[in-house]
Amino acid sequence: MSKKSTSQSETVTIKTDATPFIVKYKTASIIIIAVLLVIISSLTWIRQVYYSPERVFNAMLENNLSTNGVTRTRIQEQQAGKKEDIEQVSFVPEAAVRTLQTIDQKTPDGNNKVVTQSIGTLTNDYSEFISIDVSQKDAKGKKLNYASVEKQWGKTDPKEQPAQIFRSTVLSPIPFANLDQGARTKIIDLMKQSKAYDVQYSRVKTVKVDGTEALAFPVKINSEKYVTVLKQLATFIGVNNTDDLKPEDFKDQPPIEVTIAVGKLSRQILEVTYAGGQKETYSAYGMVEPIKIPQSTISLNELRQKAESIQ
């Protein structure tokens, strides 16, 4: 007797839950939606409020007036050569400025290169010739040798000439200081009330400065009103020799037109371009590097006379 084998096929049915995730996991969904809303709101706030031109510009003013130090670099390209100034401004432990100046000049007889260093405090100015290499020759046809005056510091006499280096560096169209909150508020309020800075907010553009995203602010500086601000700032930082700064003397002066590039995140000035084409770059904010005052000096007038007598 033979047995028949039979095969049976079975159909497997997978049941799916058609209930939406948002309904089935209501609590989790609410949390996720809330987080997304917070992220979207934060991004909107950053874009519309934190990055708003007026907020960025005002924060920049605050930072300028509350820094330990900053470095400003100016490079002027001219047909006959180039001039570079690197200014280190430091407010700790004592207020001082150090400037390294390099002048490269082309002449029919050859190239001239003079490198000088200056230090300015509230009371004194110091200068030295780091190196002098000129094409000018003496009566024997040899290049003038300035080794006798190089690397020697000259110092001004406050009785003959008030200190100028620190004053002219700090009290510039872009001022810097290390003020307490009360003094900062007074200076910024005075700037706003007097409209010393006329900021063209409608013309602000987003730019990149050395890869950093920034806002470029066209600004017209009212010289007469700005001098009033500088005189007040001078009293806060201890600069006393400002009698020659008289606002009325600048009454008929046209405004100084500049474009100030401010980092969106840092709220620090990155670059300033003047209407005439001169450009300044800013770096090393807040760096604490005390400027050492020269201990061995001669009269600055004497140093200059020694240099002029070489022929």
Cα dihedral 120, 126, 131, 134, rounded to 10, equals 100
- Nearest one of 112, 118, 113, 90 to 102, comparing CA atoms: 113
* 93-130: pLDDT as tens digits: 889 999 999 999 988 878 899 999 999 999 999 999 99
The per-residue pLDDT for 289 is 78
The pLDDT, as a whole number, for residue 30 is 59
How confident is residue 146, by pLDDT bands cut at 50, 70 and 90? very high
For residue 244, pLDDT over 80 is answered with: yes
pLDDT of 1-35, one tens digit each? 444 444 444 555 555 555 554 444 556 555 665 55
Rounded mean pLDDT, 280-299: 90
Residue 160, pLDDT score = 83
In this prediction, residue 139 carries a pLDDT of 81
Rounded-to-integer distance, Cα 89 and Cα 94, Å: 10
Strands 212-221, 205-209: parallel, antiparallel or unpaired by DSSP? antiparallel
Between residues 225 and 49, the one the model is more confident about = 225
Q: How confident is the model at residue 138 (pLDDT cuts 50, 70, 90)?
A: confident
Look at the chain and count its residues.
311
Query: Element (H or E) spanning 154, and its range?
Result: strand 153-155
pLDDT, residue 35, reads 59
Say which residue, 46 or 174, is predicted with more confidence: 174
* Statement: residue 306 has pLDDT above 80: yes
Domain at 68-283, CATH class: mainly beta
Question: Average pLDDT for residues 184-189, to the nearest whole number?
Answer: 96
List alpha helices for the chain, DSSP H.
Answer: 21-24, 26-45, 53-64, 165-170, 181-194, 223-237, 300-308
Global pTM reads 0.81
Residue 2 is predicted with a pLDDT of: 47
